[in-house]
Chain A
Amino acid sequence: MSAATPAPSTTPERVGGPQPMEPSEIRHRKPARSGSLLSLLAWVIGFLFALPVLWMILTSFHSETDAATNPPSVFAPLSLEGYKSFFAAGPWPSLLNSLTASVVSTALVLLLAFPAAYALSIRPVKKWTDVLFFFLSTKMLPIVAGILPLYLFAQKVHLLDNIWWLILLYTSMNLPIAIWMLRSFLAEVPVEMLEAAQVDGASLTRTLRDVIAPVVMPGIASAALICFIFSWNELLLARVLTGTVAGTAPVFLTGFVTSQGLFLAKVCAASLIVSLPVLAAGFAAQDKLVQGLSMGAVR
């Protein structure tokens, strides 16, 4: 249960820029009765949206026989049967593959995106908006439209079922978003700081490392989070380009697609465990999520 309802992390009242006054005071001056009804409605809707996940969590802790009763046996004794049979199915290689693919590709993305974002914001190249929109437009190209050549190429150079091919593809998949996000953070570095660094004769590398990096750390963290989530979630490329050796966790989950019968607890346990890293990362940084998903357009 704790996974779905952690303590409400610091929820800033405002996502936007500086606000002249305390907004909540103004907006909620008159506490009408309709207000508490609306709050109740919000609670009910929130609960309904979380219900399938809460149900999944509960079911994952039931025995297979209790999980598959109708009407549901909410108060059945808890059991680890589902988890045991999930781990007995050998998920570790795929979980490790997912971890490798997500972490390494995220690191590569940051390595490439940071200098690029610098070149698009602090000392921008000519036509920098065009370059920026080129990056964004690649994000809108459906992956499925390039998947066949990616498959044929991998087949030719023996990169099928190789995690490195997936890592490279995830890197290119997430790079545009990271550049967009980092650019909007870099654009906020005060010019005075950069000028001071220049007057002091700091080299580009030093300026990047000692002046800019500390300021944009939150931006780097949120870009990393988004890239990690997207890589972790990806199915189509992994499904087509990997097999028994390099299969990721989502590919492992597709093994449950056709399974029928009394495997509900196992399916729920598997779904929950595979989602756990994303749930943790997402809850920890709810606001960054908005920014990343809207490619930095909404701050």
Chain B
Amino acid sequence: MSTATETREPATPASPSPGRSTQLAKAGDWARRAPLLPALIFVILMTQLPFLATLVISFMNWNAYYPNERGFAGFDNFRRVFTDVNARQAVIVTILLTVAVVLISLVLGLGIAMLLDRKFRGRGVVRTLMITPFLIVPVAAALLWKHALYNPEYGLFNGLLKFVFGENAPQPDWITNNPLWAIIASLVWQWTPFMMLILLAGLQSRPLDVVEAARIDGASSWQIFRSMTLPHLRQYIELSGLLGAIYVVQNFDAVFTITSGGLGTANLPYFIYQTFYTAQDYGRASAAGVVVVIGTIIIATLALRSVFSLFKEETR
């Protein structure tokens, strides 16, 4: 179930890097494949095989609590995934979570990347401060948000409210009031640096003489941004957005830590974890897993395209 075949671009070069000497290319096919095989076989064994097994189990009646009822189930598990309220909710949460986190952190990341693309005193320090959220272990980050920031009694947020507005300041219970947004905020905090880093790399690969020429010709900053910066950044925006989406779709740490999937925040990875780990319903968990994969393949196909276009540029 690899997506590589689906995205094979027509432009795939038949002969590899033309720059390489033909002399080097003379060795036998097997001598060349040999160094590749260990990695290839290992990856197939460890990633493709388990997924194939998941696919098989998704068509089976298999609940570890009822070992005697194991058997072929057809599309039953899938039907249950799409009719079960919790499962449907998990699908919706996954989409909401992914779209919100990716969009918000992309926009923030772009703005901050533009700010950091200028030279100013302490730019290195600001950049370092900016990427700190990305370097905190995800579970630790989620714990930090849950206990040190969101806690209604002694969290930083309510502490600041009290500090600013005095004794009668509102003291909301952030997680209970807006569980999904509590998770989204913590993930945006973690992912904005990622977007920022890639977009900054994109900004810095921009040919500056052209921008300068446009400026001399009297183009405004906004015009330069709209018609030069943004088109140049397009593939970087796509790349960071889609890579971000692939990671956020799979998010488990934040949901598990901040709400434990409660209050209607269980996303598909958490739902699968719960269905197989707690409920021991292997068939249904596998069907949900297959749904995640189908969703991811849709995103991934787009992502591969975008990576491919960058990659093509690199090899010319």
Binding site for B on A (CB under 8 A): 4-6, 8-9, 11, 13-17, 19-21, 23-24, 26-28, 35-36, 38-39, 41-43, 45-47, 49-50, 52-53, 55-56, 59, 67-72, 112-113, 115-116, 118-126, 128-131, 133-153, 168-169, 171-172, 175-176, 179, 184, 187, 191, 194-195, 198, 232-233, 235-236, 239-240, 249-250, 253-254, 256-258, 263-264, 267-268, 270-272, 274-275, 278-279, 282-283, 286, 289-290, 293-295, 297-299
Contact = CB atoms under 8 A, between A and B. Distances in A.
B193 A49 contact: yes
A187 B269 contact: no
B134 interface: yes
A240 B277 contact: yes
B119 A24 contact: yes
Contacts of B134: 282, 289
Contact of A275 (B45, B136, B204, B285): B136
B137 A232 contact: yes
B273 A240 contact: yes
A46 B126 CA distance: 5
A46 B127 contact: yes
Contact of B148 (A11, A35, A56): A56
B269 A8 contact: no
A137 B139 CA distance: 26
A16 B204 contact: yes
Interface in B285-316: 285-286, 289-290, 292-293, 296-297, 299-300, 303-304, 307-308, 310-311, 314-315
B162 A70 contact: yes
13 contacts: A14-B205, A71-B163, A120-B36, A133-B7, A136-B307, A137-B304, A142-B269, A144-B273, A145-B296, A148-B57, A194-B24, A232-B137, A298-B310
B222 to A, nearest CB: 13
A36 B21 CA distance: 52
A248 to B, nearest CB: 10
Interface of B: 1-5, 7-8, 12-13, 16-17, 19-21, 23-25, 27, 29, 32-36, 38-40, 42-43, 45-51, 53-54, 57, 112, 115-116, 118-141, 143-149, 151, 153-154, 156, 158-160, 162-163, 189, 192-194, 197-198, 200-202, 204-205, 208-209, 211-212, 236, 239-240, 243, 246, 249-250, 252-253, 256-257, 260, 268-269, 272-273, 276-277, 282, 285-286, 289-290, 292-293, 296-297, 299-300, 303-304, 307-308, 310-311, 314-315
A52 B132 CA distance: 10
Nearest to B7: A133
B272 A144 contact: yes
B132 A49 contact: yes
Given A130-B4, A240-B273, A123 B24 contact: yes
Contact of B54 (A35, A145, A184, A274): A145
B21 A140 contact: no
A271 B40 contact: no
Given A49-B192, A141-B51, A235-B253, 19 more contacts: A19-B208, A27-B119, A39-B118, A39-B120, A42-B123, A71-B160, A133-B308, A140-B303, A141-B293, A148-B54, A172-B47, A191-B21, A236-B253, A253-B137, A257-B256, A267-B143, A275-B140, A290-B201, A299-B201
Given A13-B204, A257-B143, A275-B140, A148 B282 contact: yes
Contact of B189 (A49, A140, A142): A49
B239 to A, nearest CB: 6
B127 A286 contact: yes
B296 to A, nearest CB: 5
A256 B311 CA distance: 43
A270 B140 CA distance: 8
B262 to A, nearest CB: 12
Contacts of B308: 133
Contact of B126 (A21, A42, A139, A176): A42
